[in-house]
Amino acid sequence: MKVYMIPFDTIGKRSPLLYGQFIEHFHRQIYGGIYDPGSDQADENGFRKDVLEAMRAIHVPVIRWPGGCFVSSYHWKGGVGEKRTPYFDKAWRVEESNEFGTDEFIALCRKLECEPYICTNAGTGSPEEMSDWVEYCNLESEGQYARLRIQNGHKEPYGVKFWSVGNENYGSWEIGAKASEEWGRLVKESAKMIKHVDPTTELTAAALTDIHWNLELLENCKDFLDWISIHQYWDHIHETNRPADYNQAMAFTAHTEDAIGKVRGLLMAMGLEKKIKIAFDEWNMKEWYHPNVHSIEQGVEKKDYLYPRDDNDDNSIYTMADAVFTACFLNALNRNCDIVGMANFAPVINTRGCIYTYPEGIVLRTTYHVFYLYTNYMGDIVRNIGCPDMKRIRVVNCEGMPEEIDALDICATGFSDRPGIAIAFVNKLAEEPSEIELHFEAAGKVKGYYICGKSVSSYNDVGNTQVEILEEELGDFHPGMKLCLRPHSVEIIRIGC
């Protein structure tokens, strides 16, 4: 397969926020995950040092918190100050200690030198409660909540730039779900109050690919919004925890850009594509496993709805299928960097996260290595690339229907601050290598960085590392250079870097 690239034919400059992450008060993401004061691994603030080190290595640019479904019954004022009152979290049906709140989240972001992104309660909350939260975080000293922050030991404002009005308030599963007509009005009033507190904030609001919902939202709120938020999980297994097999996962890769295309089209039709960007602020291939909660008939005993969540910790289900899909989606985000300005992998830790914690240490799942490859080796200027003789393969999707998909997913980048080219190649073929020829002008040494596995089922676990990043020297570049991509692999080659 021949790969072509035209010099200076660029799509745009990718925002670093495309490689963002997400944490929610669900299962072991916060407590026993990133925040574990009782752990031997904890620092002076209760954060796991090994987790912080792993997150720094993938240069996390932004973290979205506190949810997620959790936020729609979360009242932030109970999670600040010395007196923290536990309460029953009606979203996930557990007691929330309130030990980790706004101040702890900001401390985490400061340690990681990343942007905090706060999602507000638009379920049981109010516009006033949302704007009070902005006052607490961003005002210097005016008002009772800025003074409360100072009283709590934080004199300087936090300067939180990114805020979301709500989570998935369009969904019946969300506490405080809204009709589209209600939503547009609520977002408008919330945005007005937030902007009155701090006009420099950048606001997004919950949306989806439904035209009616988005029209109501945008017609009411286009003057206040900087972003529009969309979420997607492709493997719908929240009730079963039975993941798609490798070929079914590859069928998902043919649809990584569907939602982006639909929302882009609406923004363009309304003349808003230059004003409002897409925040794909919750995504993963696999849905989280939480049976008998987001359904009319609730599990009664904890063995029916709570204890099964431990099955999210089965590292054997996070295989090269997850890695290949994740790389394909990151490629899609890059190719749409002119309209998608932020994305947040859900979540960064435990559940379906790329980092798994246990008392003695951490496991870096296959998806972690994908983020490492992209954040450390890819460039920020996304370039158009062509492969006119792309091989097509047939797979069977989760509905049992055959689909034809591209055998490769390719994303080419340059660098805004130095010469060189970095190209990500994702070979979706389960057992076969793919040979490619590079037909473009470039100069310099070629170096490759890649992950694959002995099989598509390769995974990492405690004491069992089957997938890791490997490197190879490939010699001097010349037009027509041939490369052999390994089966089920994610490979980045850098030329002249």
Domain-ending residue, one of 380, 398, 415: 380
Q: What is the pLDDT at residue 296?
A: 87
CB distance 26 to 33 below 8 Å: no
Domain-ending residue, one of 324, 355, 380: 380
Give this prediction's pTM: 0.97
| CATH code of the domain covering residue 358 | 3.20.20.80
Give the tokens for residue 410.
Answer: 């390719």
Q: What is the pLDDT at residue 295?
A: 86
Do 75 and 199 belong to one domain? yes
pLDDT in tens, 383-436: 999 999 999 999 999 999 999 999 999 999 999 999 999 999 999 999 999 999
Domain-ending residue, one of 364, 380, 396: 380
Which domain covers residue 439, as residue numbers?
3-8+382-495
Do 373 and 386 belong to one domain? no
Do 164 and 307 belong to one domain? yes
Establish whether the linkage from the previous residue to 347 is cis, with ω within 30° of 0. Answer: yes
- pLDDT mean across residues, the chain: 97
Number of domains making up the chain: 2
SS3 for 198-253 is CCCCEEEEECCCCHHHHHHHHHHHCCCCCEEEEEEEEECCCCCCCCCCHHHHHHHH
Contact residues for 345 (Cβ-Cβ < 8 A; gap 6+) = 20, 21, 22, 283, 284, 326, 353, 354, 367, 371
Do 202 and 101 belong to one domain? yes
Q: Residues 282, 287, 403, 491: which is the catalytic one?
A: 282
Q: How many residues does the chain have?
A: 497
Do 246 and 359 belong to one domain? yes
Which ranges of the chain have pLDDT less than 50? none
- List the beta bridge partners of residue 386: 4
Do 311 and 448 belong to one domain? no
Q: Residues 168, 189, 287, 403: which is the catalytic one?
A: 168
Task: Compute the chain's Rg from CA coordinates.
Answer: 23
Do 341 and 409 belong to one domain? no
99 is catalytic: no
* CA-closest candidate to residue 290, choices 496, 491, 147, 91: 91
Q: For 103-127, b where at least 16 C-beta lie within 10 A, e where not — what string?
A: bbbbbbbeebebbbbbbbbbbebeb
Do 485 and 340 belong to one domain? no
Do 480 and 344 belong to one domain? no
Do 141 and 270 belong to one domain? yes
219 is catalytic: no
- List the beta bridge partners of residue 410: 425
| CATH code of the domain covering residue 447 | 2.60.40.1180
Contact residues for 392 (Cβ-Cβ < 8 A; gap 6+) = 404, 405, 406, 407
Do 277 and 339 belong to one domain? yes
Name the burial class of residue 432, with classes exposed (0-12), middle (13-18) and buried (19+) by CB atoms within 10 angstroms of its CB: middle
Do 200 and 114 belong to one domain? yes
